[in-house]
Structure formats: C-alpha cells, structure tokens
A and B are shown apart, each in its own frame.
Chain A
Amino acid sequence: MNKKVTRRDLLKGIGFGVGAIALAACAPAATTAPTAVQPTNAPAAAQPTTAPAAATGTTTVTYWGFSGALGKTEDDLVAKYHAKQTAVKIDRQVQGSYEETAQKLTAALAAKTAPDMVLLSDVWWFKFYRAKALLPMNDLAATAKIDSADFVESLWKEGVRQGNQYWIPFARSTPLFYYNADMFKAAGLPDRGPKTWTEFSEWAPKLVKMDGSTMKVAAFAGLAAASYSAWVFQCVNWAFGGSYSSPDLKITLLDPGTIDASQFYTDLVNKKQLASTPKDVQKDFTTGLTATALLSTGGLTGILKDAQFNVGTAFVPEEKAVGVCTGGSGLTILTGTAADKATAAANYIAYATGNEGGEFWSQNSGYMPVRKSTVSSATYQKFFADHPQAKTAVDQLPRTRPQDAARVFIPGGDQILGKGLDRIVVGKEDIKAVWTDIAAQLEKEAEPVRKDLATLGG
C-alpha cells in the first residue's frame, strides 16, 4: 500500500520537475512587470518610466527604507506625500535592518540593481561615500528648496564632506537617560535625571535591590550584547573628557579621559556592583529589572507602551564635559540615478524632512525633528504638552556633537569598539591592554579609509 502512494507521489514529483522548468521559464514574465522600475541605476540614458504612473509625467523613485513598525509609519508618510502631489511617486521597498540594507546595497551596486534613494544609518553611509556611490546634494537641495540653515546644525553638518552634503538627516536620535520614576520616588530621589555621573553614583546604591548575592534590580544596565554599546558609551566617554578618535582618524583610546570613562563604566558593574549587563537592556528597563538605562530616543514609543510604571526621561549625565552623541539614519541619493529621478527624490526629501512631513514622522516614530522650525510650530508645542518625554530629546539636541570618526568612518568600527568594551566590562580584562589591542585593530582597518580620503580630498 505504501508503494502505491509513493509511486504516485513520485510521478507527481517528476511531473513537477518538468513542469517546474516550464513554469520557471514563464514565471519571470509574469513578475517582471512590477520590477521594471528596478534597474533604474543602469544607463543614465533616459529610462521613461513604464510602470505604475497614473498621470503622465510622473517620475517614480525607488527607495529603500525602514522595516518593521517604523516601516509602517514610513509607508504612511509616503502616502501623505502622494496625497499632496502627483509629480513624484515613491516606490518604497524594504530590504531589512540597517545592516541588511547596507549589505544588500553593496551587492546591488556590484550587480547594477541599486535603487535611486536609500536610507543609510550613521555607521554605514560613509562607506558608500568613500566608494563614490553617493550623489553630492547641494544643488539638488537648492532646487528642492531644502533650507540647510533651518536644520539643526550638528545634524546637518555630519553629512557634509568637502563642503557638499551627502547624507541628509531624516530619522535621527540621541541616547536618553531613561529612569523608572516610581523607583526613584520610592528611593527618595528627586524626579529628575542625575546631573553628573558622580551624582548618579551617589544615587545608585539606593536603587539597587539584592536578593542574597544576586542583583534583582540594578541601578543601571548597559552593554546589550554588541549592539549599541559603543554608541552609548561614546557619551560616557566624552563626559569624562575622552574620545575614540579625533576627526582625522587619530585613535585616542589611550587618552586619560577614555581610560577614566572605561574605569568608571567597568567599576559600575564589577567593583561597585551597581549595574548589570543583560542581553536586552530595553527589555530589562521596561520589566523593572533596572532602574535606569541609556537608550535611544527611537525606542520611546515602545518603552512607553511596555512599561507599567512612570517613565522619566532626562539628559545624558555630564561629568567633566557634556557628552551626547547623535545617531539614527539619513537619506542619500545614489550616483547612478538619472537626473530627473534625482530631482524627484530631492523633492521627497524636502517633504520628509520639512515641517509637515517631519512633524508627522517624528511624532509617530519617536525620532527627533531635524529642523528648528518644526519644533516651534503650535501643533508641536501641543504635542510636547501631551508627551513631555518627547521634549527631552529635542531639548538635548543643542548639546550634541558629531560622532567619533573611529566609530562611523571605519568599517566595522562600531563592532570592534563594542568588542573592546565587552572585554573590559564582561571579560574584566586590563583596560590599557584591551584598548591598545583595539587601537591596533582600528589602525589597520583605518588604512584603506585614509587612502580613500586622501584621493577624495576629504
């Protein structure tokens, strides 16, 4: 009985096999229609848009953006843009996380299947700049009436190289000091963030809850495995007067400031036993396993939703200096893009970062408005009144500084630094020894970067 069934299955299988080849031959024909917009990268020679345009004269721009919940918000933003005008249609596609998108873009550039516009994160965009894959946008910005003076200066400046803009801020964030307001109250602490790290060290013991020898509730949680740890630590580092590198890629990991910051950080966990190193810092915070954490403003909506306590937000603490870095992603246009599509893309960028689009985007995504004028609008002031925590990030913006070159310009720099922190705090290795090793690795990875910068003239 068995044999009969299987023989039938088998014949079916062979039939499929033959049919498969036939199908495979037909299938592309059916599905290439929607993908006709894809290889817009190829010859800049006029590619009249064949695809979806309703009205004549509509330019379609392929755009790789956010995935997940943020992607949905971005879809809404694009929809609003389409409702407002019909000359430009954005074909928004998703390629995954920041990392996956960058990997995909790299392969696509080699295969000449790249899109017109791409959202690139702070650690990825420079790589494509070096490879001359990004279009300088000064002229495009002028035509699209993007007022660079209205942008928050530090955010705009980060994407400028040799006087030309390559990376326009869109979904920008900063770390925020989140605290569990209920726990603070119970410990008799004021309802605000600590002004300095020293002040925090005084408060922390009151927040820690031990159960025998295990820490049930930590005062602070840092070092989510590999991700963001080097980003967040940048702030602590700067606060103590240290840095990862100078803007021209001189590695400064062995500066006294960096050593002090590292010592402070590892002592929090190991010597003073005030901080924990969980796998997911945000989860730990929202489930009440840590009283405070340094997390991105981008996570605010999720945190407010998951937390069952009053969430307080505050500036990142200072020490010897103010230490707040920026983060997030920006919009870029690729060099292979045809002129009309580039202009169309710039038009969208103007909307997405402008007052109307920008307001919608920041209020629904948790990222910060990138323009000074957006924040001053009446609707935004009302938004702040209803959501005081969102105001903290915006107020903190003037205190920010562009990120260290070692983290954002060196390929894999973020990860190399993160591993170093790992070794210091979790591996409890000697600070100087670790940073010496890391510096050597960074120097090596920086070589091709320096070479490219020399050719590009900066």
Chain B
Amino acid sequence: MRAEETLSKALGYSAIVFTVLIIGIPVFWLITGALKTNREIFSPNPQWLPSQVMFDNFTKAWEGAPFGRYYINSFITTILGAACEITMGITTAYALVFVRFPKRDWVFVLLLVALMVPEEVVIVPNYLTIANWHLVNTYAGIVLPGASIAFGTFLLRQYFRSLPPELIDAARVDGAGHMRTMLSIIVPIAAPAVATAGLLSVVAKWNDYLWPLIVTSTADMRTLPIGISWLLDQEGNTEWGVVMAATLFVVVPVVLVFLYAQRFLVSGIAAGAVKG
C-alpha cells in the first residue's frame, strides 16, 4: 500500500510540473512577447527574455485604438449581459424543475436545441432583426441577442434537480409561492452553481468578438476583442508585440476575476454536473 501511495504521489507531482510547463510556457511567451520588438519576437534564435524590456508596446497598444473606451464598453456589455443571463437562467431552471406544467421535458429539449445552433448561422438574421428595431450600434443591440442562455440554464437545472424535494415541499406547505421559494430557499443553496454559471457567462461575454463586431459601427461602441484584431494590418505590417500587449489588456481582468472566484468554481461545476 505504501509503495502504491508513493508511486501515485510521485506521478502527482510530475503531473503538476508537467502542467505548469505545458500550460505555463505559452502564456509566459505571450507575456514576454509583449515586451519585445517584431525583430526579437521572430528571431530565428529564440529569445526567452527580451534583451531590452520595452513598455513601448503597451503605450502603443493603448494609443493604437481607444482602449479606454473599449474597456468601458466591454465592462458594460459584459455586466449587463451576464446579469440578464443569470437572472433568466435561474428563473428558467427553476421553472423547469419546480413548476408543474405539461410537456415540461419538451421545453428542456428545446433548451438544448439552442446549444446546437452555431453563432455563424444566427449572426446575420439577428443583425437584420436588431436593425429593424433601430438598435444597431447601441448597448441594447449588443446585449439583447446574447441575453438568453442555454448552457447556464442547463447547468442550473441539473443542480436544482439534485436538491432534496423535501425542501420544496416544506416551503409549499408553509404557503410560500414560487417566487419566495426560489429566492429565499433555492437560490441561496444553489449559490455555488449560480456563481459558476455567472462566471462562465462573464468569460464568454468578455471575449465575444463576432457579434459585437457586426452590430457596432463606430469605434466608441466597440469592445476589447475587436480592438485587438484591428491592430492586425491589411498588408502584413502588423507589430506583433503591440498585439500581444493589447491581448494582455483583455486577458488580465478575466484572470483576476477567475482567481478570485476560483473556490466557487470548483464546487459549483462539480455540483451541477455530478448531481445529474
């Protein structure tokens, strides 16, 4: 037994080292790339560290496009979108599990169907719809089509299903309506799953590129991911160091949010997935 344990611990430590290397190195290269010039980045002799740390790239990236404005827009659309998603995800999942109505399972399948429609298929029709509503180039236009959520609702539904039914019955006997049951009993208990769905939603919206690209027309409404791709030059004169610096602008906030919310994440997803 001791030999077994030692072996598995050894494997475990190797796994950690392996992980940090395989995952960590590309990220390290991204960070150092932001500190180099084009020549250094693509030098045939790989440079692990920049010979001269260049913060130029960061200033150039910031000035290359109105990144301050992009940050604000990304922030607003992400918060608005995620908030809508979480709210509706909770209520829909609750309805799917605790509200009795016929053909409830069909609605669930309908929900899953929403996961099967690729973005490329919906993008142009949605643009036409938004244009008809005169919401092109507005926050509402950016947020609305993505405000509904299938993945998060699915996750929450799985989790709610695993909760002991006695809880609900007890509340109902007390005379609590659905709204109260949902808010004061279900949601607090399911907080980890809710936080998880929320976090994943935030990440997805922060990185959304295709839809904000098509629905916005002017720089003052655009979001971060768009800002980056436009540092890419039409004729191949792209300054990759600047692009990498800009990428860090986009990535760092999300990493920080993730690090903060990590504990919720672990228990959250698991709970949603496990108690299937």
Chain A interface residues (CB < 8 Å from chain B): 2-3, 6-7, 9-10, 13-14, 16-21, 23-25, 27-28, 31-32, 34-35, 38, 66-72, 93-98, 100, 103-104, 107, 110-113, 173, 280, 282-283, 286-289, 295-296, 298-299, 301-302, 305-306, 308, 366
Contact = CB atoms under 8 A, between A and B. Distances in A.
A34 B192 CA distance: 42
B131 A68 contact: no
Contacts of B177: none
Main secondary structure of the interface of A (DSSP, over half): helix
A184 to B, nearest CB: 19
Contacts of A24: 80, 139-140, 143-144
Given A107-B214, A282-B236, A287-B44, A31 B137 contact: yes
Given A24-B144, A96-B229, A104-B214, A31 B139 contact: yes
A308 B44 CA distance: 13
A70 B263 contact: no
Interface string B197-239: 0100000000000000110011111000010011111111111
A18 B42 CA distance: 50
B242 to A, nearest CB: 10
A296 B233 CA distance: 13
A20 B83 contact: yes
Contacts of A104: 213-214
Interface string B179-192: 00000000110011
Contacts of A98: 234
B51 interface: no
Given A10-B191, A25-B140, A93-B219, A287 B232 contact: no
A6 B38 contact: no
A298 B140 contact: no
Interface of B: 38-39, 42-44, 64, 76, 79-80, 82-84, 86-88, 124, 127-128, 131-132, 135-141, 143-144, 187-188, 191-192, 194-195, 198, 213-214, 217-221, 226, 229-239, 263-264
B40 to A, nearest CB: 11
B42 A283 contact: yes
B83 A107 contact: no
A69 B237 contact: yes
Nearest to B191: A6
B131 A112 contact: yes
Contacts, number: 169
A25 B139 CA distance: 9
Contact of A68 (B79, B87, B220, B230): B230
A299 B230 CA distance: 17
Given A28-B139, A69-B233, A6 B84 contact: no
B44 A97 contact: no
A313 B91 CA distance: 66
A301 to B, nearest CB: 6
B124 A68 contact: no
B128 A66 contact: no
Contacts of B137: 31, 35, 38
Given A68-B230, A302-B233, A3 B140 contact: no
Nearest to B268: A6
Contact of A7 (B84, B188, B217): B188
Contacts of B214: 103-104, 107
A240 to B, nearest CB: 26
A23 B226 CA distance: 23
- Top 4 A-B pairs ranked by shortest CB distance? A302-B237, A17-B87, A111-B131, A16-B83
Nearest to A23: B80
A34 B218 contact: yes
17 contacts: A2-B191, A6-B192, A6-B195, A7-B187, A13-B87, A28-B139, A31-B138, A31-B221, A67-B232, A69-B239, A93-B217, A97-B232, A104-B214, A111-B127, A111-B128, A111-B132, A288-B44
A100 B143 contact: no
Contacts of A111: 127-128, 131-132, 136
A10 B192 CA distance: 10
A68 B234 contact: yes
A20 B80 contact: yes
Given A93-B218, A111-B128, A299 B237 contact: yes
Contacts of B195: 6, 9-10
Nearest to A296: B235
Contacts of B79: 16, 20
A70 B264 contact: no
B73 to A, nearest CB: 10
